[in-house]
């Protein structure tokens, strides 16, 4: 391995994920999620930035829109922290012990619930994901169609 670096002064790091703009985020056992730049410099604390109190932040992930999602194991919820604006509680019921999470480019949220040994799948985006081979419509009620090739 080349160029190994160490990030210190964390309080019980649990999970790490890529963050927007090339950095990374780390959940800490002691109730916070810290965001670092692509040069490993601390950028923010989610608890401080959003005035949010975590019980026990566990799994974290980031999506293609620059949001950071956090599973709070103690509060049995999953929150979305947008790059600007207020946090949004995405999942508030049906979780026993959310430990790990991942999100897809199609707007799906996967939650590993170690309380009942299951993976739960949620849709969290209102608008469908559009890629270069999909034609968006002006109407939000119309399902996008693939372009003919």
pLDDT tens for 111-120 read 999 999 999 9
Cα–Cα distance list, 131 to 29, 105, 127, 144, 147 (Å): 37, 10, 12, 10, 11
Rounded Cα distance, 122 and 79, in Å: 13
Query: Strand 24-28 and strand 13-18: pairing?
Result: antiparallel
Quick check: 89 and 122 in contact, CB under 8 A?
no
Helix then strand then coil, % of the chain, to nearest 5: 5, 40, 55
What phi, psi does 22 have (nearest 5°)? 90, 0
Q: What pLDDT is attached to residue 83?
A: 83
Residue 144 has pLDDT above 60, yes or no: no
Beta-bridged to residue 45, according to DSSP, are 34
What is the rounded average pLDDT for all residues in the chain? 83
The arithmetic mean of pLDDT across residues 33-53, rounded, is 93
DSSP-based three-state secondary structure for 36: strand
Residue 53 has pLDDT above 90, yes or no: yes
Angle of CA points 33, 36, 40, to nearest 5°: 140
Superfamily of domain 13-125, CATH level 4: TolB, C-terminal domain (2.120.10.30)
């Amino acid at each position: 391995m080349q160029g190994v670096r160490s990030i210190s002064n964390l309080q019980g790091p649990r999970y790490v994920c890529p963050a927007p703009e090339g950095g990374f985020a780390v959940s800490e056992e002691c109730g916070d999620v810290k965001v670092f730049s692509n040069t490993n410099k601390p950028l923010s604390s989610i608890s401080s930035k959003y005035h949010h109190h975590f019980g026990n932040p566990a799994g974290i992930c980031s999506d293609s829109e620059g949001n950071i999602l956090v599973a709070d194991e103690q509060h049995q919820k999953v929150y979305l922290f947008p790059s600007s604006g207020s946090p949004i509680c995405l999942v508030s019921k049906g979780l026993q012990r959310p430990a790990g999470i991942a999100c897809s480019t199609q707007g799906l949220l996967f939650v590993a619930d170690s309380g009942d040994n299951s993976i739960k799948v949620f849709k969290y985006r209102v608008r469908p994901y559009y890629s270069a081979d999909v034609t968006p419509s002006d109407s939000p009620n119309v399902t996008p169609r693939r372009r003919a090739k």
